[in-house]
Amino acid sequence: MERLIISGGVKLKGVVTISGAKNAILPILAACILNKSPLVLEGVPHLDDVKTIKEVLEALGAKVTWNRDLIEVDPTTICSPEVPPALMRRMRASNLVMGSLLGRYGKVKASYPGGCTIGSRPMDLHLKGFAALGARVQEKHGFIEAEAPRLKGTEIHLDFPSVGATENIMTAAVLAEGTTIIRNAAREPEIVDLQNFLNKLGARIKGAGLDTIRIDGVSSLERKISYRVIPDRIETGTFMVAAALARGEVLIKNAIPKHVEPVTAKLREAGVKIREEDDQIHVTGVERWNPLDIRTFPFPGFPTDMQPQMMVFLSLAKGTSIVTENIFENRFQHVGELRRMGAQIHVEGRSAIIKGVPSLTGTAVEATDLRAGAALVLGGLAAENTTIVEGLQHLDRGYERLEEKLRLLGADIRRQR
Ligand code: UD1
């Protein structure tokens, strides 16, 4: 079993370059299904989740070639509308092919992705959207089937601005007859990236980034394009917190400051010095920092995907902080592991009360999900003595060369195989 061995207490110093966004490349790769020509994606991060969506496309019949940070997809050979259950189980985001399959081929069958450790994560909003577009949706024996010769544009009001449901409805509506309006849509930067990608292919979408998205259906998409995905805002945020926690001085390149504004605002409130330039962010840590009150919300609120990393940071603040998780019902599993490192955290319902301590102590800990894993690595960087992080399969889903990037900043971190 692989593990990371971290000797904490080193001040991080230097330059780090952010990779392409996991949560942008996954829906964009899924949306390639809609096109009638091969196309190229640039800035693709080497992540296990990207490998999984590549396998999904291949299982559907597409040809996918991955070379360094370029992926070429030839969707013209797709011959099956059925997503293999094993790939649906491996990654919830495999469901992102459903809207494109339904829109392009009039049919999709996939097993239910089920719950995961951070919460139950249902699909009802996706399926209500498909049904509103005129699909016949059936759920039987853990499988979802949706069918419609051609979808028809309509108005859909999402009960919650779900990222995945917004993306699936957008892709389903691209080739639909007439206009689709999605109200209370998710406003995440990855939705804007998906819109830009689809419009470059010839789709007619407006409004992504706002709460109402308008999709005017077109008859087909067939351009040969190449498209570069946006930088990963969660990786950016994770390095910002790493720099602050390790009292370092780090220049983060290939970042979009606007995408991490909620994180920047909170770190500044804590006392961390942050300078933003066009596509880079300079972070300078301080010796001790102020406690914070953080509540996670859909974008532009504070991202749930940064909640665990921020909690480690607050474990070393000079005072008591409160973190409230509003998106997922079970996203505090890192708390037990952080407590083992000496953090003083008490959970009450959806809130965690964090009493700052002067230092954390390294020990053996286990990642239970992707961002929890990142939080434990950050804890290890700040802790006295050695931290061993297990459960790296979670980290490898979403961080490209994490330990190599941290080592370049001076961290004492290595992977033991
Ligand atoms: C995406 C991100 C994930 C991030 C999350 C919230 C990707 C690949 N993943 O996940 O990293 O943590 O957004 O920012 O982009 N919900 C329903 N019914 C539905 C769909 C969602 O009730 O049909 C609920 C979920 O249970 C959850 C909330 O809505 O409580 C947010 O989920 P959603 O925005 O859909 O997250 P994902 O798209 O799965």
Closest ligand 1 atom number to CA of residue 23: 15
In the numeric block, the tokens 């010839």 are attached to: 202
In the numeric block, the tokens 């024996």 are attached to: 141
Q: How far is the CA of 211 from the centre of ligand 1 (A)?
A: 16
pLDDT tens figures, 189-221: 999 999 999 999 999 999 999 999 999 999 999
State yes or no: pLDDT of 115 exceeds 60. Answer: no
Task: Exactly one of 5, 40, 70, 116 is catalytic; name it.
Answer: 116
Name the closest-CA residue to atom 33, ligand 1: 162
State yes or no: pLDDT of 116 exceeds 70. Answer: no
Note whether 252 and 239 are within 8 A (CB). Answer: yes
* pLDDT at res. 118: 73
**pTM as predicted:** 0.97
Closest residue by Cα to residue 372 from 323, 308, 279: 308
* pLDDT at res. 235: 98
Name the closest-CA residue to atom 38, ligand 1: 164
Name the closest-CA residue to atom 15, ligand 1: 23
* pLDDT at res. 330: 85
Name the closest-CA residue to atom 17, ligand 1: 122
CATH topology for 3-19+231-416? UDP-n-acetylglucosamine1-carboxyvinyl-transferase; Chain (3.65.10)
- Superfamily for 22-228? Enolpyruvate transferase domain (3.65.10.10)
Q: How far is the CA of 405 from the centre of ligand 1 (A)?
A: 28
pLDDT tens figures, 361-384: 999 999 999 999 999 999 999 999
Ramachandran quadrant class, 283 (left: phi over 0; alpha: psi -120 to 50; beta: rest): beta
Query: Residue 269: which H helix or E strand, with range?
Result: helix 261-270
Closest residue by Cα to residue 320 from 337, 350, 295, 344: 344
User: Confidence class of residue 85 from pLDDT cuts 50, 70 and 90?
Assistant: very high
Note whether 377 and 12 are within 8 A (CB). Answer: no
Q: What letter represents residue 403's amino acid?
A: E
Query: Residue 83: which H helix or E strand, with range?
Result: strand 82-83
Q: How far is the CA of 164 from the centre of ligand 1 (A)?
A: 6
Please state which of the ranges 6-15, 49-58, 112-121, 261-270 shows the lowest mean pLDDT: 112-121
Average pLDDT of span 139-144: 89
* pLDDT at res. 244: 97
**Best of 91, 123, 160 for a ligand 1 pocket test (most atoms within 8 Å of beta carbon):** 160
- Taken in order 103, 108, 111, 112, is the CA torsion positive or negative? positive
Q: How far is the CA of 192 from the centre of ligand 1 (A)?
A: 16
pLDDT tens figures, 306-345: 999 999 999 999 999 999 999 998 899 999 999 999 999 9
DSSP per residue, 169-234: HHHHHTTSBSEEEEES----HHHHHHHHHHHHHT-EEE-BTBSEEEEE--S-B----EEEPPB-HH
Name the closest-CA residue to atom 32, ligand 1: 162
Q: How far is the CA of 162 from the centre of ligand 1 (A)?
A: 5
What DSSP designation does 300 have?
A: T
Note whether 205 and 214 are within 8 A (CB). Answer: yes
Please state which of the ranges 90-104, 115-129, 177-191, 238-252 shows the lowest mean pLDDT: 115-129
Ligand 1 is surrounded, with C-beta below 6 A, by 23, 26, 92-93, 119, 121-126, 160, 162-165, 186, 190, 304-305, 327-328
Name the closest-CA residue to atom 1, ligand 1: 163
Give the integer Cα–Cα distance in Å for 343 and 360.
6
Closest residue by Cα to residue 160 from 189, 187, 130: 187
Percentage of the chain with pLDDT > 90?
Answer: 94
318: its two tokens: 């000079």
Is 116 among the catalytic positions? yes
Give the integer Cα–Cα distance in Å for 2 and 103.
41
415: its two tokens: 């992977």
Q: How far is the CA of 149 from the centre of ligand 1 (A)?
A: 28
pLDDT tens figures, 125-134: 999 999 999 9
Closest ligand 1 atom number to CA of residue 328: 30
What is the residue extent of each domain of the chain?
A: 3-19+231-416, 22-228
**Any residues with CB less than 8 A from the CB of 20 and at least 6 apart, and which?**
42, 43, 44, 45, 69, 228, 229, 230, 231, 232
State yes or no: pLDDT of 119 exceeds 80. Answer: no
* pLDDT at res. 114: 60
